[in-house]
Amino acid sequence: MTALRTTPGPRLPVRETVEVDPRTDPAWERLVRTGPGSLFTSPPWLRAVCGAYGFTPHAVVARDGGGSPVGGLTWVPLDDPRGARTSSLPFSDRADPLCADDATWANLLDASGLAAPGAPPFALRCLDGSSAEADPRLRTTGRAAWHGTRLDTSPEELFARLDPSARRAVAKAGRSGVVVELRSDLDAVRTFHGLHVRLRKEKYRMLAPPLAFFERIWAEFAPDDHLVTALALVDGEAVAGALFLEWDGVLYYKFGASRHEHLAARPNDAVYWAGLGHGLGRGLELVDWGLSDLDQPGLVAFKRKWASAERSLLTLRAGEPDPGNAAFGATLAELTRLLTDASVPDPITEQAGALLYRWFC
């Protein structure tokens, strides 16, 4: 399965590293599909993120003596009122280095200059076990949880493997009249985005990513039938949903949202089970449930009901943080607090996210 595999076979020593555009370079796409790559280092995801927020991605590819690509690393330089810094990658769960050995990783980091003396602070998020984790030039500053479910069985056996509480919740959703629609049209994405805006506002007092970002994701993935929006309906009204993206044999749960007043009907469980069923029907290897912050134990526990694998996602850093403009950061926080107040209409909160979300990376 893509999220856990490494590149097999012997390797020739790295002969050279070259700079490429990871949005379009064939060697980069080959690496993403054959190494420890993921949705978040894939060309369509990079095009969607960078196109929506005006970023320019950079990447280096290492080649062996035969000219074959054997490793890659991508990042986005940022320089705004929050300070100069480099991220791999903004608004992405992770961006694992595309290499399977320490020597190739060292060549990539050297060629990138990201950890060189005087370079802007650099942040990388990757699954544990990466060569980057053991590099003395980087320090671990954060941990999150990653969950996945292997799709190596029948629907009946997969259901039997789930935690009993998940099976009971799916049954309750059925008794409560929850119906899940799996749709690939843009209107479904827009309906889900409305749920997402409300959830972020009411539960977390946070702004949501702009609708334009979701529309770019749809434009990149829907034409290849690699996007599905799951909407849980009660009496015809969307009360929960999720956006699933497919890349290289894996189905990624990228965004989820629900209406708190309908949680007793267990619509989120119905959406998760529908996602697993969709992955099985597509003949995929894995459902990747994504990142869960450890300060959200309820979310971690919910995903554990569905997962057959759990790992750590590490945040690694080089250099010291740039304090940036403290007044700008304080103003951004206060604007967010004001614009997510219950008295503010959802459309205004949505427009605020479209204007301000870029500055949260």
Residue range 34-40: mean pLDDT, rounded: 90
Angle made by CA atoms 268, 271, 275, in degrees to the nearest 5:
140
pLDDT band at 12 (very low <50, low <70, confident <90, very high): low
Question: And the tokens for 97?
Answer: 């280095």
Which residues touch 36 (CB under 8 Å, ≥6 apart)? Answer: 3, 5, 6, 7, 96, 97, 98, 99, 100, 127, 130
Cα 98 → chain centroid: 16
Cα distance between residue 152 and residue 7, in whole Å: 21
Among candidate residues 215, 252, 208, the one with its CA nearest the CA of residue 230: 252
Q: Are 127 and 331 in contact (CB under 8 A)?
A: no
Tens-place pLDDT, residues 77-89: 999 988 899 999 9
Q: Above pLDDT 70, what percent of the chain?
A: 96
Q: Which residues pair with 87 in a beta bridge?
A: 76, 123
Tens-place pLDDT, residues 255-282: 999 999 999 999 999 999 999 999 999 9
- Residue 257, SS3? strand
CA dihedral 209, 88, 288, 46 (to 10 degrees): 60
Cα distance between residue 347 and residue 118, in whole Å: 43
Tens-place pLDDT, residues 163-204: 999 999 999 999 999 999 999 999 999 999 999 999 999 999
- For the cut 90, the answer to whether the pLDDT of residue 17 exceeds it is yes
Compute the residue count for the chain.
361
Q: Are 63 and 97 in contact (CB under 8 A)?
A: no
Return left, alpha or beta for 295; rule: phi > 0 is left, psi -120 to 50 is alpha, else beta. Answer: alpha
Question: And the tokens for 12?
Answer: 């020739």
pLDDT of residue 45: 98
Tens-place pLDDT, residues 313-332: 999 999 987 777 888 989 99
Tens-place pLDDT, residues 327-337: 898 999 999 99
- For the cut 60, the answer to whether the pLDDT of residue 3 exceeds it is no
Which residues touch 111 (CB under 8 Å, ≥6 apart)? Answer: 17, 60, 62
| Amino acid identity at 126 | C
Cα distance between residue 80 and residue 57, in whole Å: 16
- For the cut 60, the answer to whether the pLDDT of residue 8 exceeds it is no
Among candidate residues 72, 63, 57, 67, the one with its CA nearest the CA of residue 108: 72
pLDDT of residue 197: 97
Question: And the tokens for 134?
Answer: 């053991």
Owner of token pair 């479910």: 149
pLDDT of residue 10: 44
Tens-place pLDDT, residues 215-271: 999 999 999 999 999 999 999 999 999 999 999 999 999 999 999 999 999 999 999
pLDDT of residue 226: 98
- For the cut 80, the answer to whether the pLDDT of residue 47 exceeds it is yes
